[in-house]
Each structure stands twice: as C-alpha cells, then as structure tokens.
Amino acid sequence: MKIIVTGATGLVGAEVLRQAILDETIEEITAIVRRPLSLQHPKIKTIIHQNFLDYSTLSDVIKKHDAFLWCLGISQSQVSKEEYQTITYDYTIAAANAVEKVNPEMTFLFLSGMGADSSEKSKTIFARVKGKAENALLKMSFKKLFIVRPGGIKPIHKNPNTAFSNKIMIPFFPILELLYPAMVISSVQLAKVIVHIAKNGSEKQLMENTFLKEIAKNL
C-alpha cells in the first residue's frame, strides 16, 4: 500500500509517519511538506511543495497512491482568523478537489477535531471552520472518505512544532486522563488508528474520540 501524508512535521502527522514505517503492509509513504523532514527512512519519499492551494503538479503522484491522509493543521492561537480559514478549510478542500479529480477511488482521511460544529454556527473559529471543511468533504463524491475527531491529543514524542498553547497543556494530561478519559487520546494511539483506517476503512465515516479509542484498544 502507498500513502500520502500532509502535516508530517506536526504532532499527528509525524507520528503517522512513524507508525506507517512500522507497518509492513505499507510500502511507500509520500510526505508533502514545505521543508525537509528530520525523520528519514527508505519508505519515505519527501515532496517539497509550497502552494497548498494548487496540486496540479502532483496529479501523477496522487494517481499512484491508495490513501491521502490529511493531517495538516494549526492551532487557532497561532494565526489570524483569515489564516486559520485558509489553512484549515481552503488547503483541505483544494487537496480534496485534486484527489477527487484524478483518483476518486482513493481513501481520503481528514483529521478534524472534537467539537467540530456541523452547523457552522459556533462562536469558536476552530469548531466553525472544521465543521465547514467536514461538510464540504461530505458533499464530494469520494467512495472512501473518513473524518476523525480526536479530543485532547497527548504527545508521546517531543515535537518542536507544537504550539505553545498545547505545550503548556502537557503536564495536565495525566489529570485530564483521570477525570475525563473519553476526551484524551495519545498521539501514538491516534496515529495507529489513522493508519488502520487508511488500510481497512471503518464502519463509520465520522468518528468521535471514544470510537477512535475503541479501535485503538483492538489494534
């Protein structure tokens, strides 16, 4: 199996790379990134790509892969509302349109988040824009589209690109796991589930954190 991963320098995307490397059934991992990866492996092919609104030069790459794992994202605290809209919605839909055009049989997985608002009316930009992206994807003609909504993601490996607002939460994860276990998932658990869904699909198209954790338990 051959997969494409975006957001490969981020918390989830980097962990997806690690888990895909360990999976013997995945023969090739193409990371579409803006800068070179620190993680190197014979399975990994890195494509430096600057314009995430235009995938016309990547049509041949998309055709040759079986799954597109959209793990690219940013904390709403790191950018303006306009930039968050561009990165979270515009980039995602541009990629999805490219996949739909050249390889509609491909599995497309979107990393959303707990609290995404399908009504698109939330006062929180994260919930509103994630919900908007989900709705747009669901209107497309993908035969294998999956949306995952993880809760608080507990980092297992250090990542220099983690937002400061997320870094200060790290010491509190043991407390959150104790008080609200259904709301927390580790980066390793989530990455394993994403790779599993890429390979095997899922009985659900939209998956909340509790369902993701159930899948993780059985892997």
What pLDDT, on a 0 to 100 scale, did the predictor assign at position 156? 80
What pLDDT, on a 0 to 100 scale, did the predictor assign at position 102? 96
Q: How far apart (Å, rounded) are the C-alpha atoms in residues 192 and 186? A: 10
What pLDDT, on a 0 to 100 scale, did the predictor assign at position 78? 87
Residue 57's CB is within 10 A of a number of other CB atoms, namely 10
What pLDDT, on a 0 to 100 scale, did the predictor assign at position 74? 92
pLDDT along the chain (219 residues), means of 10: 96 96 97 94 97 97 98 91 97 98 96 97 96 98 96 79 62 67 89 98 97 95
End-to-end CA distance of the chain: 18
In the block, tokens 């892997």 appear at: 219
Write the DSSP symbol of residue 54.
-
- Residue 57 identity (one-letter amino acid): T
What pLDDT, on a 0 to 100 scale, did the predictor assign at position 183? 81
Q: What are the two backbone dihedrals, phi and then psi, of residue 61, each rounded to the nearest 5 degrees?
A: -65, -45
Which residues, listed in sequence order, are joined to residue 145 by a DSSP beta bridge?
108
Q: Does residue 205 contact residue 147 with C-beta atoms inside 8 Å? A: yes
**Model's pTM, two decimal places?**
0.92
Tokens representing 197 are 């869904």
Q: Where does 2-217 sit in CATH, by number?
A: 3.40.50.720
Q: What are the two backbone dihedrals, phi and then psi, of residue 141, each rounded to the nearest 5 degrees?
A: -100, 25
What pLDDT, on a 0 to 100 scale, did the predictor assign at position 75? 87
Tokens representing 169 are 């939460």
Q: What are the two backbone dihedrals, phi and then psi, of residue 6, each rounded to the nearest 5 degrees?
A: -110, 165
What pLDDT, on a 0 to 100 scale, did the predictor assign at position 168? 67
Tokens representing 144 are 């294998």
What pLDDT, on a 0 to 100 scale, did the predictor assign at position 92? 98
Q: Give per-residue pLDDT as tens, 75-118.
A: 888 899 999 999 999 999 999 999 999 999 999 999 999 999 99
Q: Where are the domains of the chain?
A: 2-217
